[in-house]
Each structure stands twice: as C-alpha cells, then as structure tokens.
Copies of this chain bind each other. A is one copy, B any other.
Amino acid sequence: MKLDAYLAERRAAVDRELGSRLARSLAAAPRRLAEAMSYAVLEGGKRLRPILVLASAEAVRPGAGPEALGYACAVELVHAYSLVHDDLPAMDDDDLRRGRPTCHKVHGEALAILAGDALVTEAFGWTAALPPPLGGELCGELARAAGAAGMVGGQVLDVVATGAGVPSAAAAVEAIHLGKTGALLGACASGGALCAGAPPATVGRLRRYGELLGLAFQAADDVLDVEGDPEERGKRRGGDAELGKATLVAALGLEGARRRAHEQAEAASAQLDGLEEPSVLRELALYAAARTR
C-alpha cells in the first residue's frame, strides 16, 4: 500500500535524524540523564507527528521536506516527554509502554521527571535553531500547542475527569481529545506549512486539519479500546472503561463513536482543498479514522 511505504520511508529518515541530533545534544549532559532521555525517545513509536510535519511541508511545496526535519524532530521530543510524564505513578501509573518498561520503571521516578523536563526544553532549543524568523515563529506555535491551553491542559482535563463517575458529554470528551492530541498535531501541520513558506490562511487551515486529524484519531482509539485486537494493539480490551476514563463510546455508543471518527476525518480532509499536493494528508485522515491499531 502506498501510504504504508511513505510512512516507513519517512519514519526511517526521522529516526536517523533524531538519533544523530540527540547524540550531539546530549554530549554535554550527565550520563544518567542522557540515558533516560535516549530511552524515552529512541527505539519505538510510529513517528506520526514528525511525519505529519514533513507531509504538511510537502503538501504546500513538494520537495520542502528536508527544511522541516529539525522541527519534525523537535515535536517528537515533545511527544516523548508527554508520554514519560503521563506514565508517572502520580499520573496514569503505567508500567509498560510499547511493550517495554516505562522510563520511570527503568531509570527511577526522579530521573523520569527530569528527563521529561529536559526533552521539552531541548525541543525548543532545536526549534529555536532554525533560521529567523522561522525559529521564533515555530517556538510560539509549539508553545501554544503544548502548553496550558493545549496538550498539558488536555492532560489536566483528563486527570480531573478520570474516575469522576459522571458520564461525560461528547463535547467534554472531545475537549480532552483536542487538548491531549489535537493541539500538538495541529502544530505539526501548521509548523510544516510555515517551514514551506505557506501564507497565513494556509497555515491556519493546516492547523485545523491537524486538530481534526487528532480528533479522528482519538475517536478511533476509543472504538479500538472496546473492539480492537488486544494482541495487535499491545493493550487489553476495555482498559479505558476500567480506569473510569471519559470516552466517546461512553458518550455516544460504539456506533456513534465510529461515525464521529469518520466525520472528523472528512472535516480534516475538507481543510486541504487548494493545496499543491494534498494526497498524503488525505490518506492520513482516512487512516486515522479506519485504523485497526
């Protein structure tokens, strides 16, 4: 399949660049910190976020991929830090991530907190190193998406809602999804567009595309939590319900949540009209809603 080949090729490019950037950045860091950070970032992950940066840049201007690679790696650091902190005992208290022990299980809780702190900081360092005015613009884009009104805010809403025992309305669940996942995906797509020199209106449409892609992705995730293949996903069925998580399936039923995933994917795709080369982004939207793991 064409999208699979594209994803595999871009993922390999991201992995190479991430590995060499991280080695350079961590040369002056304490050894144990460097190990915990590398453990959190390397070996694993679909690299969906950096690939979205590259694909958005290419959708605006074919061939623009390489210029966006530094920012693509930076957003992956932000994603990795968020997983390390989400897994902590005080948060989701997870022992396993991608089939491996979580960062705090291997390196201890203090090192895991500090590794996360250093990863998000390094992400801004990598982004700031891009030529002006792009570096500052992208730092602003990333901070808005990752901060109190974005990713961290979504995580707070999730923590507050979990176990609250109230069946949440679909809008409240989608506010969590938008924060936890949509905001950063939005900054991936808008950031790729900025790297490719897109005008503000296009940057805005691609930001919205990324947010809607995140909503489709999370709606599909709620469906998969109920009916996905536990082996293929590496997670047992019904885990979210057991934890008392607010999910779209609880709010809309299984069929309603499935329909919502497709609606969000279609809304995402509608943002792409007029782009130079939208086909990869369109396929990504379909994939987000229809994926099996």
In whole angstroms, what is the CA distance A83 to B276 when docked? 48
In whole angstroms, what is the CA distance A7 to B4 when docked? 60
| A88: Cβ under 8 A from any B Cβ | yes
Q: Are B153 and A33 in contact (CB under 8 A)?
A: yes
Chain B residues near A125 (CB-CB < 8 A): 139-140, 143-144, 147
Q: Are B140 and A135 in contact (CB under 8 A)?
A: yes
Q: Are B148 and A25 in contact (CB under 8 A)?
A: yes
Q: How does the 8 Å CB contact mask read for A81-96 relative to B, with 1 for contact and 0 for none? A: 1000100101100000
Q: Are B30 and A118 in contact (CB under 8 A)?
A: no
Q: Are B157 and A143 in contact (CB under 8 A)?
A: no
Q: Which partner residue on chain B sits nearest A179 by CB separation?
A: B30
Q: How many residues of A contact B (CB 8 A)?
A: 54
With A137-B128, A139-B128 as known contacts, state yes or no: A33 contacts B121, CB within 8 Å.
Answer: no
Q: Which of B109, B120, B124 contacts A139 (CB 8 A)?
A: B124
Partner-B contacts on A (CB < 8 A): 25-26, 28-30, 32-34, 37, 81, 85, 88, 90-91, 108-111, 113-114, 116-118, 120-122, 124-125, 127-130, 132-137, 139-140, 142-144, 146-149, 152-153, 155-157, 159-160
